[in-house]
Structure 1
């Protein structure tokens, strides 16, 4: 019994320790303003983007030498439109292919950092893999994973789902080769941590319905539906809408009755739903 209590206490301390550890890591989400700027930076460093830019060199020469501007214009428009589309299409397969060549290291980081289904647990793995991929020239930048969620999603797409679909041991070896034992170890660690978090979720320490006793439904807080409706109407938006309502009702008597009635109904609905 004492051993079980000690193990429970240790498991409870796992989550805060990981969160403190993950606060020290720096990811692209901390460097770039948003995911769009990170995406543009990553695309500008890719080989496909450089090839797309080089295509404009012969096109510009063609523009100068050609007497008929129609054909250079058509080709330029095609390159301008299809180029970014092509870059978007090949981006995700390119990332998967680069990461699939480093599955052994990916699984080693998972085994060492013991992440679970909580996105925060993947921050250390993402930071370490970003540095490893760049230093070993497996990726052009230090920002392969944008954040911890991106890392966990790539783990699911490149390791968890493909490996789980391979029921035969020979098929696993054929697809993942020497990475099979590392993948099995990483998956074992991952599912163990998920189970720990699930147990923590069901304990009184991790799940306590604080404040739920004082929570009240609108039926308990109001005497009737009418008072609840009045409460919805009398909001900070009530005064300008009310003025618009009376302006429509009393100052536009000579206009079309159908349009006046429609406008009045619309204003009233805005008052109710505000």
Structure 2
């Protein structure tokens, strides 16, 4: 279900879409669609082709073994085939359960966070989860529009991108990633003319989005715990 990052057509602002207000008010996540997490999980795994194919292959091998075991050679063939296909089934399941790793997807998630500035446990995370589910499905990174079961799943995925990292606030520069240098050996024009060098990055500056999204999340965390414990600042001062 995962695919390599092939394009950088990042949609930076979906809040200007005509249906944006409808999305925010009528967000339907898998937790609202399915009766239980188990039914959601079964639905998703049944739409994951590698798992379905290897499961059917294993089932066919078992049936062949049960009904056509008239010789030692056939038994050895079926047993060896089954032993070979079982690891394939396990590997497919492992691929199904590992988190999505796609640069375009991560950038779109970070843009959503920067744009919406979601509060911890706020309704904004439901909208973000809905939009990211649609993004994965539309870009064929997931076989159903139900990757994140609820807003907490999406929030946890986002935290996995930033948790434990150290960020440094940087001021905006007029020319990012551009360095002017003077060459003593080769000049294209007059001796006083500078040669410009720059580092090319395919797509947006990932680190910049990551840092800004982490800053927003940290502020949201501070606001959340300040709201739950209004006297936390006074308590901290007493312990100093």
Checking the alignment, whether the CA contact within 8 Å between 1:119 and 1:152 is kept in structure 2 is: no
Checking the alignment, whether the CA contact within 8 Å between 2:57 and 2:85 is kept in structure 1 is: no
RMSD: 3.8
Does 1:74 pair with 2:79? yes
2:158 pairs, out of 149, 155, 159, with 155
- TM-score using structure 2 length: 0.58
Superimposed CA distance per residue, residues 157-206 of structure 1 (whole angstroms, 9 cap, x where no aligned partner): 2x1136x1689x9xxxx9x98321111121122112222222222349xx
Q: Which has the higher helix share?
A: 1
Q: 1:36 to 1:57 in 2, by over 3 A?
A: closer
Q: 1:133 to 1:200 in 2, by over 3 A?
A: same
1:36 pairs, out of 38, 54, 63, with 38
Q: How far is the alpha carbon of 1:118 from its aligned partner? A: 2.2
Checking the alignment, whether the CA contact within 8 Å between 2:58 and 2:86 is kept in structure 1 is: no
Superimposed CA distance per residue, residues 80-137 of structure 1 (whole angstroms, 9 cap, x where no aligned partner): 75455333322233x3324x44111010111222223327552111111111111122
Distance in structure 1 (CA, Å) of the matches to 2:70 and 2:119 = 61
Matches within 5 A, 1:32-181: 32-53=34-55, 55-56=57-58, 59=61, 67-68=71-72, 69-75=74-80, 77-78=82-83, 82-93=87-98, 95-98=99-102, 100-118=103-121, 121-157=124-160, 159-161=161-163, 164=165, 178-181=205-208
User: What SS class does the counterpart of residue 120 from structure 2 fall into?
Assistant: coil
Distance in structure 1 (CA, Å) of the matches to 2:96 and 2:63 = 29
Checking the alignment, whether the CA contact within 8 Å between 2:51 and 2:93 is kept in structure 1 is: no
1:190 pairs, out of 198, 217, 222, with 217
Q: 1:50 to 1:193 in 2, by over 3 A?
A: same
Does 1:202 pair with 2:229? yes
Q: 1:198 to 1:58 in 2, by over 3 A?
A: closer
Higher relative contact order (CA 8 A, sep 6+): 2
- TM-score using structure 1 length: 0.52
Distance in structure 2 (CA, Å) of the matches to 1:90 and 1:119 = 31
Q: 1:132 to 1:50 in 2, by over 3 A?
A: same
Please, which runs of 5 or more residues in structure 1 have no aligned partner? Answer: 1-20, 205-274
The equivalent of 1:239 in structure 2 is none
Distance in structure 1 (CA, Å) of the matches to 2:84 and 2:25 = 44
Question: Matched residue pairs, number?
Answer: 175
Checking the alignment, whether the CA contact within 8 Å between 1:59 and 1:72 is kept in structure 2 is: no
